[in-house]
A and B are shown apart, each in its own frame.
Chain A
Amino acid sequence: MDFNTVIQVLDSTIRLSTPLLLACLAGLFSERSGIVDIGLEGKMLIAAFFSAAVAFMTGSVWLGLLAGVVSSMALSAIHGLASITFRGNQIISGVALNFLASGLTVLIAQTWFSQGGRTPSLVGGARFSELTLPFADSLRPVPVLGPIYADLISGHSILVYVAFLLVPLTWWVMFRTRFGLRLRAVGEAPEAVDTAGVSVVGLRFASIAIAGVLCGLAGAYLATGLQAGFVREMTAGRGYIALAALIFAKWRPWYALGACLLFGFLQAVALRFQNIDLGAFVVPVQVMDALPYILTVVILAGFVGKAIPPRAGGEPYVKER
């Protein structure tokens, strides 16, 4: 395995990690406020569809992005209505949203475009192009660092950089602002927050709205950044892997970055080297595909530290009388 291959695998890792990272941060905001969000997958999917559909119709990827974010937030609002306002079961609401997104996207796509549940291919300004960072081409000849900068760091769509910048931003919001403190408190002890005179319902709605925006970015990145159009079920379980990453990261932003990069790396390796020959034995590709889940189970079982979810997670808040 030469240096170029390493760069290529890491490059692929970044592309595969980005949607996971965005969805994982979305889950982080939601779950830290006490709202379990199984519906990450559905939100990504509906955002992927609307971003591609609107980008195709208007020719503008930015309008597409906006449509994706709005559609994802609409699902968030339904989730909030069901599980915060009406205190329904959060898991059931999330699962229902996944089904809704899965059916709705194909149905609308078929009605609008008649192409078997997908959007037509996007061209030109309807896609996110790859950004070339300054001096990328002139620095390329520099040994080792040149290719790392020019091929690995440069040359991604803008949403990738946004996703990575969102990690420190999330950390700052969560742990250095009053909003973040209240948000974390509402996930641990909502009655305390309520006693202090802060609206539990308002905070929870705010956090799932943020989750909606982040899932919208993730979906738009899949459909208009990585791909040129929507294909049915194109999220292919990434929302669930993001949830696994969230548990793996123990609900912390920097750990989330690490977990998503690790899961992305495992996928990239599995795609590049189908069966890994370790000399003594061969690791089949299926093992690589299953590793994220195995690792999550190991973490959950408490072998590597303890994963303690927010205490009030999954519980609708009922004011005491």
Chain B
Amino acid sequence: MTFFAKTLGTVAALALSAGAAVADAALIYDLGGKFDKSFNEAGFNGAERYKAETGGNYRDIELQSEVQREQALRRFAEAGFNPIVTTGFSMSTPITAVAPEYPDTKFVTIDGYVDPEAHPNVLSVLFAEHEGSYLVGMMAAMASESDTVGFVGGMDIPLIRKFACGYAQGVLAVKPDAKVISNMTGTTPAAWNDPVKGSELAKAQISQGADVIYAAAGGTGLGVLQTAADEGILSIGVDSNQNYLHPGSVLTSMLKRVDVAVFDAMSAGPDLETGVIALGLANNGVGYALDDNNADLVSAEMKAAVDAAREQIIAGEISVHDYSSDDACPVLNF
């Protein structure tokens, strides 16, 4: 009987703790880990800001393998967490499988896209990478002395072409005669983690005259930034602020404010509005990084021009072509 009472007590306690968790948010990091100095870590920072500013609580998990995606989603949903925020485009497919089973739970896929008609309880957060890339493209063109700038992409997917296309438009807006050399590292996921190829691509672009190179290539980009620093030219980082990697060599970084997206989603709580939102310049979803490490590289004139362009894009006076809208780029051939 005592055993039965104890068991009953434990069950009740568990039920209570589960009940207490109802209002908590959950965060799932994509493969790559919480402290990747990039995408996922930005998500973590947003969640920490939510905790500090609102006093709310959240639970998180780092995925270790592909098979854990659905499992993690289900366990959080089962435990009553709401909303469940995920980073990385690879989470959108598992969400389509799990979301219909928990209609009262809100799911957020950052950088992924889920059809809002079919899944009314999912929020897809997309970024206007082309707008941010446009700004760093302008900076690249202004910093370039040879009027030749480079772009190194990771895996050749439409998302990366979107970066390249926005960048090229920014460059040509400042210097219509400038040359943009664009290279993709590969066509398999290995292209995200091949810094050796990144270095070789950077060297090849430098030998063709490039003196500013924008890398949107994950781990491969680290090789590009390294080579740029070794060869004494400028580079541009991506996703999170990478200026600190090689102070004095990284001109700026194109920021994707994953932290803003996570913070907003968690702050909205279970009443989160679902659908599709695009974070662009207007709502500070993308931008460029300015800190102590690149303060000497960015002139006042450069900053003024870029900030003016930012205002014009927000006001709709400049329209930056989005590669993913029609799978074509007016200024760059792939």
Binding site for B on A (CB under 8 A): 4-5, 8, 12, 15-16, 19, 110, 114-118, 121, 222, 226-229, 231-234, 236-237, 267-268, 271-272, 274, 285-286, 289
Q: Give B245's nearest chain A residue, CB to CB.
A: A121
10 additional contacts (CB under 8 A) given A271-B200, A285-B184: A16-B196, A116-B33, A116-B41, A118-B222, A121-B246, A227-B222, A227-B223, A234-B196, A274-B183, A289-B187
Contacts of A115 in B (CB 8 A): 35-37
Q: How far is B190's CA from A231's CA once the two chains are assembled, in angstroms?
A: 12
The verdict on A271 contacting B223 (CB below 8 Å), with A110-B35, A116-B38, A289-B187 known, is: no
Q: What does the 1/0 interface line of B166-205 toward A look like (CB < 8 Å)?
A: 0000000000000000011011001001111101110110
Contacts of B203 in A (CB 8 A): 8, 12
Let me know if B200 and A227 touch, CB within 8 A: no
Q: What does the 1/0 interface line of B33-75 toward A look like (CB < 8 Å)?
A: 1011110110000000000000000000000000000000000
Q: How far is B209's CA from A5's CA once the two chains are assembled, in angstroms?
A: 12
Q: Give A19's nearest chain B residue, CB to CB.
A: B196
Among B183, B186, B201, point to the contact of A289 (Cβ < 8 A). Answer: B186
Q: Tell me if B2 counts as interface (CB < 8 A to partner A).
A: no
Shortest distance in angstroms between B38's beta carbon and chain A's nearest beta carbon?
7
Among A15, A117, A228, A285, point to the contact of B226 (Cβ < 8 A). Answer: A228
Contacts of A226 in B (CB 8 A): 196, 199
Shortest distance in angstroms between A15's beta carbon and chain B's nearest beta carbon?
7
Let me know if A233 and B199 touch, CB within 8 A: no
Contacts of A274 in B (CB 8 A): 183-184
Let me know if A12 and B222 touch, CB within 8 A: no
Among B183, B196, B199, B201, point to the contact of A236 (Cβ < 8 A). Answer: B196
Contacts of A227 in B (CB 8 A): 195-196, 199, 222-223, 226
Let me know if A110 and B184 touch, CB within 8 A: no
Q: Give B202's nearest chain A residue, CB to CB.
A: A271
Which residues of B213-249 have CB atoms within 8 Å of chain A's CB atoms? Answer: 219, 222-223, 226, 230, 245-246
Q: Tell me if B207 counts as interface (CB < 8 A to partner A).
A: yes
Q: How far is B33's CA from A117's CA once the two chains are assembled, in angstroms?
A: 8
Let me know if A231 and B219 touch, CB within 8 A: yes
Binding site for A on B (CB under 8 A): 32-33, 35-38, 40-41, 183-184, 186-187, 190, 193-197, 199-201, 203-204, 207, 219, 222-223, 226, 230, 245-246
Q: Give B198's nearest chain A residue, CB to CB.
A: A227
Let me know if B200 and A234 touch, CB within 8 A: no
Q: How far is B183's CA from A86's CA once the two chains are assembled, in angstroms?
A: 48
Let me know if A116 and B199 touch, CB within 8 A: no
Contacts of A117 in B (CB 8 A): 32-33, 36
A-B contact pairs, 27 of them (CB 8 A): A15-B200, A16-B196, A16-B200, A19-B196, A115-B36, A115-B37, A116-B33, A116-B38, A117-B32, A117-B36, A121-B245, A222-B196, A226-B199, A229-B222, A231-B222, A232-B193, A232-B219, A233-B190, A233-B193, A234-B195, A234-B219, A236-B193, A267-B200, A271-B183, A271-B197, A272-B204, A289-B186
Closest 5 CB pairs of A and B: A116-B36, A236-B194, A231-B219, A233-B193, A236-B190
Q: How far is B194's CA from A16's CA once the two chains are assembled, in angstroms?
A: 12
Contacts of B245 in A (CB 8 A): 121
The verdict on A12 contacting B33 (CB below 8 Å), with A118-B222, A121-B226, A234-B193 known, is: no
Contacts of A16 in B (CB 8 A): 196, 200
Contacts of B223 in A (CB 8 A): 227, 231
Shortest distance in angstroms between A71's beta carbon and chain B's nearest beta carbon?
19
Q: Give A274's nearest chain B residue, CB to CB.
A: B183
The verdict on A116 contacting B196 (CB below 8 Å), with A271-B201, A289-B186 known, is: no
Let me know if A8 and B193 touch, CB within 8 A: no
Let me know if B197 and A236 touch, CB within 8 A: yes
Q: How far is B38's CA from A116's CA once the two chains are assembled, in angstroms?
A: 9
Q: Which residue, of B195, B207, B245, has the highest number of chain A Cβ atoms within 10 A?
A: B195
Q: How far is B310's CA from A292's CA once the two chains are assembled, in angstroms?
A: 46
Contacts of A116 in B (CB 8 A): 32-33, 35-38, 40-41
Q: How far is B223's CA from A49's CA once the two chains are assembled, in angstroms?
A: 15
Shortest distance in angstroms between A186's beta carbon and chain B's nearest beta carbon?
35
Contacts of B32 in A (CB 8 A): 116-117
Let me know if A268 and B35 touch, CB within 8 A: no
Q: Give B230's nearest chain A residue, CB to CB.
A: A228
Q: How far is B37's CA from A229's CA once the two chains are assembled, in angstroms?
A: 15
Let me know if A231 and B226 touch, CB within 8 A: no
Let me know if A237 and B190 touch, CB within 8 A: yes
Shortest distance in angstroms between A244's beta carbon and chain B's nearest beta carbon?
15
Shortest distance in angstroms between B143's beta carbon and chain A's nearest beta carbon?
22
Q: How far is B122's CA from A28's CA once the two chains are assembled, in angstroms?
A: 54
Let me know if A8 and B207 touch, CB within 8 A: yes
Q: How far is B246's CA from A5's CA once the two chains are assembled, in angstroms?
A: 28
Q: How far is B230's CA from A272's CA once the two chains are assembled, in angstroms?
A: 19
Contacts of A229 in B (CB 8 A): 222, 226
Q: How far is B69's CA from A43's CA once the two chains are assembled, in angstroms?
A: 30
Shortest distance in angstroms between A115's beta carbon and chain B's nearest beta carbon?
6
Q: How far is B190's CA from A233's CA once the two chains are assembled, in angstroms?
A: 8
The verdict on A231 contacting B193 (CB below 8 Å), with A16-B200, A274-B184 known, is: yes
Shortest distance in angstroms between B256's beta carbon and chain A's nearest beta carbon?
16
Shortest distance in angstroms between A243's beta carbon and chain B's nearest beta carbon?
16
Q: Give A236's nearest chain B residue, CB to CB.
A: B194
Contacts of B35 in A (CB 8 A): 110, 114-116
Contacts of A272 in B (CB 8 A): 204
Contacts of B187 in A (CB 8 A): 286, 289
Contacts of A234 in B (CB 8 A): 193-196, 219
Contacts of B195 in A (CB 8 A): 227, 231, 234
Q: How far is B203's CA from A16's CA once the two chains are assembled, in angstroms?
A: 12
Q: How far is B32's CA from A118's CA once the two chains are assembled, in angstroms?
A: 10
Q: Give B207's nearest chain A residue, CB to CB.
A: A8
Q: How far is B198's CA from A267's CA once the two chains are assembled, in angstroms?
A: 12
Shortest distance in angstroms between A227's beta carbon and chain B's nearest beta carbon?
5
Contacts of A232 in B (CB 8 A): 193, 219
